[in-house]
Amino acid sequence: MARQDRLLQEDVHDPYFVKQKYRDPSVCEKCSVVFKNGAFEWVKPIPPSAAKMVCPACRRIADKFEGGIVTLEGGFLSQHKSDILNTITNAERAEQAMRPLERIISLTDRGAKIEIQTTYEHIARRIGDAIHKAYKGELTVQYPEGEKYARVFWKREGR
């Protein structure tokens, strides 16, 4: 692939974040994340001059517009469900502290299978890595070409 094409692909447009549309500073009326100096941050106290807005993460959550999906499967999952759910929560907290727009949209527990929709791709990757590191098993991460999106699969059989 030509270098030019690759550069274009890395700069994939996020329909939920058009920088020029956000006033600086502004604060999300749903989650209180602050847009300041061109970036989203957890800021306390909230700048008194901040305009109100709804941030891209909260808009994606409302629309269920996922930027990543994590699928966990296998016999080991049912046996260690509560530990694995804790690992997911910890990975979510750690990622959100660094990248405030990375959130879990939904977590669907189907017994021997868990599906997690995320707002963006980084948190999907982080959850997969955290589970793989803690519980081994098989991890696959796919980035469909040209999309700002991650598909993460993890599987472990046995107990």
Residues that bind Zn ion (CB under 5 A): 28, 30-31, 55, 58
- Residue 58 C-beta: closest distance to Zn ion, Å: 3
Distance separating alpha carbons of residues 37 and 17, to the nearest angstrom: 15
Strands (E), the chain: 26-28, 34-36, 39-41, 51-53, 68-73, 104-109, 113-118, 138-142, 150-155
- Residue 31 C-beta: closest distance to Zn ion, Å: 3
Q: Which is nearer to Zn ion, 76 or 120 (CB)?
A: 120
Q: Which is nearer to Zn ion, 30 or 132 (CB)?
A: 30
What Rg do the C-alpha atoms of the chain give, in angstroms?
17
Q: Which is nearer to Zn ion, 46 or 134 (CB)?
A: 46
- Residue 32 C-beta: closest distance to Zn ion, Å: 7
Q: Which is nearer to Zn ion, 33 or 131 (CB)?
A: 33
Query: Of 71, 53, 49, 69, whose CA–CA distance to 16 is shortest?
Result: 53
- Residue 10 C-beta: closest distance to Zn ion, Å: 25
